[in-house]
Amino acid sequence: MLFAGVMVTFFVIAFLGLPIVWAILAATLLYMGLSESSYTFEGMALAFIGGIEPFHLLAVPMFILAGELMGRGGVSARLIDFASKCLSFLPGSLGVVTVSSSMVFAGVSGSAVADSAAVGGIMIPGMQRRGYTASFAAALVAVAGTIGIIIPPSIPMIVFAFLAGTSVKDLFLAGIIPGLLFGFGLIAWCMWVARHNGWDPGARLAPARDIGRSFIACLPALLMPVIILGGIFGGVFTPTEAGAVAIAYALVVGLWIYRELSLHDLPGILLQSFTTSATVMLVIGATTALAWVITLEGVPFLLVDAIRSITSSTAVFLLIVNVLLLLLGIFLEPVPALVLTAPLLLPVAKAMGVDPVHFGLIVTCNLALGLFTPPVGGTLFVAAKIANARMGKITRDLVPMFVICLVVLAIVTYIPGFVMAPVTWFR
């Protein structure tokens, strides 16, 4: 009952509009004050610091900075140009380009919001000129942008790997097939909708010479995920070191290859990246402190017993987890939601025989859906602002895309042998 009361307090404070980190810290202090155990502020501070000091968490700010550099350095425009020339013959070609560009950019940024902003800023106006409604264009960008935290590198996956003590490499490998499934499902829907509504019937395939030129211009951008992921999977460097490599490569591409970055741009980019990183780290520290109290109170073990008293079926447990995370993802960003729930649900998942890497994939996919679910979705707000579209109209266009994503989520949840195949191949 105490845990339930504290969680209610947390959500009330969060819904009042206060920063999420304050809501988490307030819930932690309330738990400490009402508990019969003796807790100290020193212990809470040590738990907070301990949550953000592990070396491998340096990968988070590094990938944030690398994504910002690549996004500002001309990468997105070249990716979109190459995809447009390759896919112009398909019905709904601009919608297909939007999704495919998001899939490729996901291998650069690792951030869903960055993906939506970079791709949406170029594609939404173009889609509107081609006949797409503003609401459909915004909905598509919002949904496609969430692929950014599923296809590696993924910042939430790095955080989950730290919390669960699992391999970042395995989590990255596990994200490949689900990311492709999400993308191909959206592409099929774009083609059907465009053909049904008479939008964007497609044009002739661009000349091979133009495709070749676009590919050469795009090659430095396409090489980044190859270098980063190839280095991680090949054991050349760790995910943390990969973040440093990504920054160095992004600087080379932006400053000297594409020349769309200048030294004068770097202070602003660093400030933006460090602000984002500091926010993420504060949330991780605060949720680690709350997890410290919850663990000492034995809540995870009580939760294991409670769920086992309800069901002994792994399939039913995973259904409960999906519903819980889908609801939580509506109100919380992926990282705080992940850090808040992983210490509670992971022991239950292990007790139910669920592989931790598979469970991390399920959690990440669920929270990705929350990013475009009204009323708080991060990618949804970005896309709506770019398209200048009303949330109600966007929501109507979101519904069939949400259903497609739910089908993919069910595949991820209940066919682990299929989605986890790359992990098996490279182990």
Percentage of the chain modeled with pLDDT above 70:
96
Q: What is the mean pLDDT of the chain?
A: 85
Q: How many residues does the chain have?
A: 427
Query: Picking from 265-269, 292-296, 302-306, which range would have the lowest pLDDT averaged per residue?
Result: 302-306
List the structure tokens of 50.
Answer: 């301990």
CA-wise closest residue to 284 among 33, 118, 6, 47: 47
Secondary structure, 3-state, the chain: CHHHHHHHHHHHHHHCCCCHHHHHHHHHHHHHHHCCCCCCHHHHHHHHHHHHCCHHHHHHHHHHHHHHHHHHCCHHHHHHHHHHHHHCCCCCHHHHHHHHHHHHHHHHHCCHHHHHHHHHHHHHHHHHHCCCCHHHHHHHHHHHHHHHHCCCCCHHHHHHHHHHCCCHHHHHHHCHHHHHHHHHHHHHHHHHHHHHHCCCCCCCCCCHHHHHHHHHHHHHHHHHHHHHHHHHHCCCCCHHHHHHHHHHHHHHHHHHHCCCCCCCCHHHHHHHHHHHHHHHHHHHHHHHHHHHHHHHCCHHHHHHHHHHHHCCCHHHHHHHHHHHHHHHHHHCCHHHHHHHHHHHHHHHHHHCCCCHHHHHHHHHHHHHHHCCCCCCCHHHHHHHHHHCCCHHHHHHHHHHHHHHHHHHHHHHHHCHHHHCHHHHHHC
Q: Tell me the domain boundaries of the chain.
A: 1-39, 52-426
Question: Which range has highest mean pLDDT (3-7, 114-118, 357-361)?
Answer: 357-361
Whether pLDDT at 320 is above 80: yes
Whether pLDDT at 396 is above 80: yes
The predicted structure's pLDDT at residue 404: 96
What confidence tier does 213 reach under pLDDT thresholds 50, 70, 90? very high
Whether pLDDT at 2 is above 80: no
Q: In the block, which residue shows the tokens 């490599």?
A: 245
The predicted structure's pLDDT at residue 108: 67
The predicted structure's pLDDT at residue 192: 93
pLDDT digits (tens, 9 = 90+) for 60-97: 888 888 878 887 888 778 878 888 888 888 888 889 99
The predicted structure's pLDDT at residue 17: 67
Percentage of the chain modeled with pLDDT above 90:
28
Whether pLDDT at 110 is above 70: no
The predicted structure's pLDDT at residue 376: 62
Give this prediction's pTM: 0.85
What confidence tier does 306 reach under pLDDT thresholds 50, 70, 90? confident
Whether pLDDT at 397 is above 80: yes
CB 246 within 8 A of CB 66: yes
What confidence tier does 109 reach under pLDDT thresholds 50, 70, 90? low
pLDDT digits (tens, 9 = 90+) for 398-427: 999 999 999 999 999 999 999 999 998 876
pLDDT digits (tens, 9 = 90+) for 228-261: 888 888 888 888 888 889 899 989 998 999 988 8
The rounded distance, in Å, linking the Cα atoms of 280 and 158 is 12
pLDDT digits (tens, 9 = 90+) for 11-63: 777 767 677 788 888 888 888 888 877 788 888 888 888 888 877 778 888 88
Whether pLDDT at 377 is above 80: no
Average pLDDT over residues 164-184: 93
Report phi then psi at 368, rounded to 5. Answer: -65, -40
The rounded distance, in Å, linking the Cα atoms of 162 and 60 is 11
List the structure tokens of 132.
Answer: 């797409």
What confidence tier does 307 reach under pLDDT thresholds 50, 70, 90? confident
Question: Which range has highest mean pLDDT (160-164, 286-290, 413-417)?
Answer: 413-417
CA distances (Å), 252 to each of 63, 75, 255, 268, 384, in order? 15, 12, 5, 18, 33
The rounded distance, in Å, linking the Cα atoms of 185 and 395 is 18
